[in-house]
A and B are shown apart, each in its own frame.
Chain A
């Protein structure tokens, strides 16, 4: 186990530098004049330009600049947005509602995926199974830009079942519709993986043994099969967090939830470069850390990984 953790941590360090380097390079590779972008249309004197160049280390080499950026990230100094607010403060304001939204979405997606996936796998080839596969195909193909506004229109405005927008201190009920939209991004893959892995485990020898011992069907499926089948699903939830982050940008914009995604959307629209890079960098780090945790959890659940 110890060796696994060490190797995974080293891998994480490599990915961290690779990913942040990628974001940094993407942002700065094709940049023309950052100082002009900062001051906008106004003319700028030579001394001001020199001061700004000094302040933002623009005369340093690319790698030195990258180092300043990583140092800022690690010490929580994300710089200031073009609106003058500290990006770290904006993030602190925005993340609670996004966290709640994402958690509800994960719960909704996992519940539907596991329940429907298990039933599908037990009754392979039945009407339920085929209908589920067809529905997941359609859900898989629904872009979030289609799903979010249409869900808002149908369930929020026309039917009036849910409030069409949610504010900063939205309660569970207000967040339910946006969370369901978000969940739809990941539920289809999770369901398919659950179905495939339950179906595979149902044929395993230990299931036959459990049945031969005379255990009830409910216990065989609920304890023996499910425990072994959920391992791949848990890894998938880690990967899905990336999809949920991307989806949250559109969902929060459509439902007016002032979370991380909403701020990012506004940053894109108002050409707020520092805000976009700051938020994206933090999201990338969150994604990496969560995936690390999921991988370690995976090793706890599956001894084959641990003792490799």
Chain B
């Protein structure tokens, strides 16, 4: 279990493959890591993610300009030495706004994925492990959730949550919206891999040795069924970042003085004929971030399941 966790947390202290390859046989996770290290897509995704994370944590490393320092006389001024991407329609520095925009994207993406991941884990585990009427009930509920197209539900829920005046910039509202609505795929994947793991001989053996439900779930079933779930969550993180931008674009996501790629894109669409710069740069950063997480998920899935290639 420990090396599986290490892999999924992308920690650098993974066990190296045994020298020479022969001798000790590798576990599934070590095998996957062995494949992953050779994947160019994996490293490209990782580099992109590290850059975006740095941007989100310390934006001042990348720019000394203030995204809220807007002077109307600079409206749509072109690129210059001090503002390499030029200025937008309010005379704000486009580069600074783009760098600072990473923060909310990452915060919303990570926390909404955590919420969705926890719900999905709980639902998938209990439906898969206990089966019976609980499984039937939870599975029907997931079917109903999937009967409503995601963005439509997000618009209705996001609009409701955002009307609460207590959270003025909408970060909490959009995080909750994406978390509450996004767990279905994770739950389905978790359920099916728990069912597969549950019927293995080693689980039967552990049960016969007197292991209780808790021990069976957390020591035997979970470590052997978590890989597909982690892949789904990685991809979901990318999707949630894209959804946050889409909701902000539509006006039910981040609002007010929040600096967000979705808001920047939405504002810039009105001025594309005059100044395409404020549209292009947040778009490029948003697309690259989403792509990085989806590529990471794709690479990890390929490493865990070579058959899919």
Which A residues form the contact surface with B (CB < 8 A)?
11, 14-16, 18-19, 22-23, 26-27, 29-32, 137-138, 140-146, 149-150, 152-153, 157, 242-243, 245-246, 249-250, 253-254, 264-265, 268-269, 273, 276-277, 280, 283-284, 287-288, 291
Contact = CB atoms under 8 A, between A and B. Distances in A.
Contacts of A245: 149, 151-152
Interface in B150-202: 150-153, 155-157, 159-161, 163-164
- The secondary-structure label for the interface of chain B is helix
14 contacts: A18-B140, A23-B156, A30-B164, A32-B163, A141-B290, A143-B287, A152-B272, A243-B149, A246-B149, A246-B150, A249-B151, A249-B155, A280-B155, A283-B152
A299 B242 CA distance: 35
B286 A143 contact: yes
Contacts of B155: 249, 264, 268, 276, 280
Contacts of A254: 269
B230 interface: no
A137 B246 contact: no
Given A23-B153, A31-B160, A140-B294, A157 B279 contact: no
Nearest to A22: B148
Contact of A15 (B144, B249, B280): B144
A140 B295 CA distance: 10
Given A18-B140, A30-B164, A249-B250, 17 more contacts: A11-B143, A27-B156, A140-B294, A141-B238, A141-B294, A143-B290, A144-B246, A146-B283, A157-B276, A246-B151, A249-B155, A268-B155, A268-B159, A269-B251, A276-B159, A280-B155, A283-B152
- The secondary-structure label for the interface of chain A is helix
A31 B164 CA distance: 9
Contacts of B152: 23, 245-246, 280, 283-284
Nearest to B143: A15
Interface residues of B, number: 46
A242 B268 contact: no
B156 A145 contact: no
A138 B152 CA distance: 24
A147 to B, nearest CB: 8
A284 B154 CA distance: 13
B283 A150 contact: yes
B295 A141 contact: yes
A293 B141 CA distance: 21
Contacts of A16: 147
Given A15-B147, A26-B153, A153 B276 contact: yes
Contacts of B279: 149-150, 153
A153 B280 CA distance: 9
B279 to A, nearest CB: 6
A284 B160 contact: no
Contacts of B291: 137-138, 141-142
Contacts of B140: 14, 18
B284 to A, nearest CB: 8
Given A243-B149, A284-B147, A157 B272 contact: yes
B102 interface: no
Contacts of B269: 149, 254
B49 interface: no
Given A150-B280, A157-B273, A145 B252 contact: no
B298 interface: yes
B226 interface: no
A119 to B, nearest CB: 18
